[in-house]
Structures are given as C-alpha cells and as structure tokens.
Chain A
Amino acid sequence: MSVEGAPQEDPELKALSQALHQLYDPVLDEPVPERLRARPRSWRAAAIAASWAFLGLCAGTIAGWQLHAAHPAIAPQAEVPGFVKRAAVAHATYSPEVRHPVEVGADQEQHLVAWLSKRLGAQVRAPKLEAVGYSLVGGRLLPGDNGPVAHFMYQTAQGRRITLYVRTEAAENRETAFRFAAEGNVKVFYWIDRKLGYAISSADIGKDDLLKVANVVYQQLNP
C-alpha cells in the first residue's frame, strides 16, 4: 500500500473521507450545548492572578519601606524612580491578561510605533527580541506621572511575558546606568537615556534571564 504523496489524492482515502463526513458532519449542524457556550472561569482566574501580583507588589513595597527605615544603607528601593514602580504595576496589571493584553497587536506594529511616538512626542521603537526568544505581542498607551507612556509587551512561545515601559524624561534628568529593582515578584531593569526613561519588567523569568533580554533591548535602543 502506498502512503506517499498528498493523502487527499488517494482514491480509497477519498471514499473513506466521504463516508466519514456522512457519518460525522451532522454534528456540525447540531446546536452547541449551553455548557460548551458558557464562558469559562479563566477570566476570573486571570483577574485573581493579577490581584495577587498586585498584593505582592504592595507587600514588596511595604517591606522595602520598612527595610529602608531600619537599614537605609541597604535599601535600594529608596532610590528607585517613581516610574519604575509604575512600570512594575503596569506589568502586573496587563501581563496576566488573556483577551486584551495589548491595545494594538503586533500585526499593526508600524501603526503602533508611529502612534505611540506621536503621543509621547519622541521617537520610540519596539526592539526586536526574536534573538532571545521573545516576539512582540503589541502595545498600549498608558498615563504616566509626566505624560503619556508607551507600553510594549513581548512573550516567548511558552507564554512568558516581559513588558517594556517607555516614558519621556524631564530635561533635568541625567542619564543613568543600567539598574535593577524588584517590586514584589516583578523584576525591573531600568535606565534613562536623556529624553526617554526605560523599564523592562517581568514576573515570569529570573533576574539573570531578564538581564539578558534587558541588555539586548539596551543595545538596540542606545546604540
């Protein structure tokens, strides 16, 4: 018996196919039972995950605060710019989203980047992270403490997500080196490059892995 070539060309399979369709196609016309139409609880699960992440963030912030009071010298949180916390909150809010993780999908990347650049009043770019296993999901516009913020989301094939928060910086802000902060379970690498402040966040991957991604982002955005 030959199994080479396209399966649909085999006359015996064609006959079998017709018979199978005759047998099972009536199912297509049956009304779908209510229990299959009912919305699942994943929405709620995602919302719970998000609120846990938020609680973790609060706990982390409070812990950092107390740590700061007791041992000011070893409290890196004290020097973390406000936008880094906002970036972590945005990550915790949007990364568990199942249906609406982004406002504009990666299929409209050009439009997304042009739109966000226009709103921020500065040229922003969505870095290419395929080399480190991440593809662009899309992005959204967020309110920041000094104007609109661009928020890009990326994910691996396994669904691990990172977000890149980009905001415009006031003129007096100097450049900063690459810095790390942990807000609850959200890890953040951030830096400021004259006009723009960047924060790259993830709760799904470890610090070392996030650092690798952050390095690639940093190199692409600050050549």
Chain B
Amino acid sequence: MNDAESIVEMIPRLRRYARALAGDRAAADDLVQDTLARAWAKLHLYRRGTDLRAWLFTVMHNVYVNQLRAARPGVQLDEELPELSQPARQSDGLELRDLDLSIRRLPPEQREVLLLVVLEDMSYEAAAGTLGIPIGTVMSRLARAREKLRAMLSGLPQGGTQLKVVK
C-alpha cells in the first residue's frame, strides 16, 4: 500500500479523534479536512517506514493549535459549549453524555494528551512525540486531566443542568 492509500485508510481514525477533540461533527470534519489538505501538501516530509498515524496526528495537532490561536483569545472554551448532536444512548447514556461534556471542558492541551493516551492507546513516548512535548509534560497533563474529570464527574447534579468546574 502506498502512502496515499494509507492516508485514506486513516481517515476514519482521524475523524474519531477530531470528533473527540473538536466536539461537534462539522467542526471535527473541518479539522480533518484541513489536516488532510496539509498532509497531502506535506507528504514529502513524511519519512517512509515511520508511523504514519503518529505523523498524521502531529499534523492534526498543528492544525488544531493554529485554529485555537486564530480564535478570539477572549473566548473561553467553556462558554462555547456546543449542543450535543447525537442523542444519548439508552443504558448508561447519561454517564457517557456527562463524560463527553466533561472532556470538552478540559483545556485543549490536556484533552489532547488524554485522548491520545486513553482513546488512541499511544504510549507516553508516542504521545510526547506526536505533540512535540517532553514525556514529563505528557504525564503531568494527563494527571491534571484526570483530576479535573474526576472532579467534574463527581460534582454532577442528577439533572442536566450546567456543570460547574470545581477547581
């Protein structure tokens, strides 16, 4: 399989990660589209034999960071909570929905680390390489993300009212 075919194969994985990272479907697919455009243009920079997925995730990370920087700096991510587009599931739908909301409330840099390690199953080392940060930073961001998640999930009221982030 050549590099181009491999990239096409990776699109569903990129979409899953983008959905978790960016929230709603349209924003996530915009992120994927920008990532693919950049990846195609920069494909000559990809070194054959290295992990293509990690390379694509690095490209997506860079695109995502640029998008965040381009957004108005005064806007807090917490205030821009998008509505859920998909209905919660039958059984433990509420819990999952809460988790989804909580993940979106994490600071982007913590959310990225959490998703790469926990959802994408990357080692600390691979996550560090993908994000271009030291392993120690990966570990501390993950720890902070987990603390925040725990606090958010345990402080949940039973209804569907707005979450309050407990510091």
Contact = CB atoms under 8 A, between A and B. Distances in A.
B13 A28 contact: yes
A27 B147 contact: no
A204 B42 CA distance: 15
A62 interface: no
A26 B96 CA distance: 13
Most chain A CB within 10 A, of B103, B140, B149, is at B103
Interface of B: 2-4, 8, 11-13, 15-17, 19-20, 29, 32-33, 36-37, 40-45, 47-49, 86, 89, 95-96, 99-100, 103, 115, 117-119, 121, 123-124, 139-140, 142-143, 146-147, 149
B96 A3 contact: no
A36 B19 CA distance: 14
B43 A107 contact: no
A58 interface: no
B100 A3 contact: no
Nearest to A161: B44
24 contacts: A3-B139, A7-B118, A13-B118, A19-B95, A19-B96, A20-B99, A23-B20, A24-B16, A24-B19, A25-B16, A28-B16, A29-B12, A36-B11, A37-B11, A39-B40, A40-B36, A42-B41, A42-B43, A98-B40, A98-B43, A106-B48, A157-B47, A158-B45, A159-B42
A190 B140 CA distance: 54
The 4 A-B residue pairs whose C-beta atoms are closest, nearest first, are A42-B40, A159-B45, A40-B40, A27-B16
A102 to B, nearest CB: 10
Given A99-B4, A106-B48, A159-B45, A35 B33 contact: yes
Most chain B CB within 10 A, of A17, A20, A40, is at A20
Given A24-B17, A33-B29, 11 more contacts: A3-B139, A6-B123, A13-B146, A19-B96, A20-B118, A26-B86, A27-B15, A28-B12, A32-B12, A42-B40, A106-B48
